[in-house]
Amino acid sequence: MHPAFSVIFFTVTSGAGYGLIALLCLLNFLYFGMLLDKSTFFICATVGSALFTMGLISSTFHLANPKNAWRAFMRFRTSWLAREGILAILFYPILFLYLFLVYIDFQIENFMFMQAYSFFIFLMSVLIIHCTGMIYACLKTIPQWNTFWTPINYITIGISLGSLILFFILDFNNYNVDPYKYYLLAAIAFSFFTKISYYISIRGSRHNIGQATNAAIKLKSTNVRLLDVGHTGGTFLTDEFGYKVAEKKLFRVKTFSIISGFLAPFTLIYIHSFVFESMLLCILAISLAFFGMVAERWLFFAQAKHVVNLYHGSQNV
């Protein structure tokens, strides 16, 4: 698939934003109320809201006809894109009401209600990231995406990026981050584990349909090959769904995404937490993580092959 930068930016930044909001509300739920002072709390909420808002805006740049964007909301019962869009729009008033209640100290006299509200926003944030992943995971025509690991990757990577940002904000505001460093390292490690599991899973035969042309016409004893593709030049399908890139480049990008997106941030946060404390290490960890996730998301699209490529001469997808 052709990797559009607007979609890459959308999935990375919105995932990080929703991940940050999810963690912020989860902390309020687990620690029974406002763990952070209002200033730090609203800084985290503002950064998270800005990230997923920028992501949602960037997603419209991928539309061929932006004036028809409203149609994306019309198939809620069957379309994960519609579900994500509607939930993302509904999330704004729900989140802003929550922030207003926090601002007026509503939780002091209505503790249980705010606890339930915090957990609800946490669940809704994770659900929106899940819907984003399912937009791609539900496509049986693209075997590399059609796996349960796809939405899991989106969720764990979003939580990992959100954890990095939250850790930095807390440390910058002189909070005792000792309890959180273990959670952050665990979040990065777990997102790395799910990503490697995804790469391993798509190597299976179900995600790489070898000799698919033979299977389609039920011939096993011979090698069927396409003699004529029906056109003499490139088409929209060959450009968008038949994106070609050298295997060496895919390997280099995968290596960079793993090192920059997972290993380097983990190492830098470990050094910052246990060896040498420096805010520059946190900033570098966040920067490398975002660059690595952009590379990971580019690879996610670039290595995906639509089954329509079989019609255009490919023997496997």
Mean pLDDT of 28-44: 82
- Please report the pLDDT score of residue 68 as a whole number: 66
Any alpha helices (H) in the chain, and if so which ranges? 5-30, 38-59, 80-103, 111-137, 149-172, 178-201, 212-216, 236-240, 247-258, 264-274, 279-302
Between 219 and 136, where is the model more confident?
136
- Please report the pLDDT score of residue 230 as a whole number: 60
- Please report the pLDDT score of residue 77 as a whole number: 80
- Please report the pLDDT score of residue 307 as a whole number: 76
- Please report the pLDDT score of residue 234 as a whole number: 67
Residue 61 pLDDT level (bands cut at 50, 70, 90):
confident
- Please report the pLDDT score of residue 253 as a whole number: 94
- Please report the pLDDT score of residue 45 as a whole number: 95
Nearest to 212 by CA among 201, 199, 228, 223: 223
- Whether the pLDDT of residue 136 is over 60: the answer is yes
- Please report the pLDDT score of residue 219 as a whole number: 63
Between 235 and 152, where is the model more confident?
152
Mean pLDDT of 13-27: 95
- CA pair distance 48, 80, nearest whole angstrom: 23
Amino acid, single-letter form, for residue 182: Y
- Please report the pLDDT score of residue 233 as a whole number: 66
Mean pLDDT lowest among 99-103, 149-153, 277-281, 311-315: 311-315
- Please report the pLDDT score of residue 67 as a whole number: 66
- CA pair distance 109, 103, nearest whole angstrom: 13
Query: What pTM was computed for the model?
Result: 0.89
- Please report the pLDDT score of residue 179 as a whole number: 83
Quickly name the fold that domain 5-310 has. Formate dehydrogenase/DMSO reductase fold (1.20.1630)
- Please report the pLDDT score of residue 213 as a whole number: 57
Residue 94 pLDDT level (bands cut at 50, 70, 90):
very high
Cα first-last separation, the chain: 11
Residue 198, CA distances (Å) to 87, 207, 209 in order: 26, 11, 17
Average pLDDT across the chain, whole number: 86
What is the residue-wise DSSP string for 95-133? HHHHHHHHHTTGGGT-HHHHHHHHHHHHHHHHHHHHHHH
- Please report the pLDDT score of residue 292 as a whole number: 96
Residue-wise pLDDT for 255-274, tens only, equals 999 999 999 999 999 999 99
Interior angle at CA 148, CA 133 and CA 264, nearest 5 = 70
